[in-house]
Amino acid sequence: MNILFVCRGNLQRSPTAEDMVRERAGGEVDVRSAGVSRNAETRVDGDLLRWADRVYVMMEGIRKRIEQEFPDISEGKASRSSEYPTGTGEVNHG
């Protein structure tokens, strides 16, 4: 499974989530991160969204922005990062 974490600048939140999931998944998933800002370290684009099976965003506004900019690619893929499965059979609602 390919997972993409997205925040605004791809400087702290989404790279941290990427690192944490990569460490915990032990190679079972491929994880990347990106940002929506023009100045993002890695900017989300159509290629990343096509690559991703699931997209986890840090804020609802980011999900909406992705869906507006990439309506044909992002449909049904984006969820809040708080909905990421914890690996214990439960969903983190934090």
| Residue among 40, 41, 5, 44 nearest 21 (CA) | 5
Closest CA to 63 of 21, 2, 8, 22: 8
- Fold type of domain 2-83: Rossmann fold (3.40.50)
Domain locations along the chain: 2-83
- The tens-digit pLDDT sequence of the chain (94 residues) is 999 999 999 999 999 999 999 998 888 899 999 999 999 999 999 999 999 999 999 999 999 999 999 999 887 777 776 666 555 443 343 3
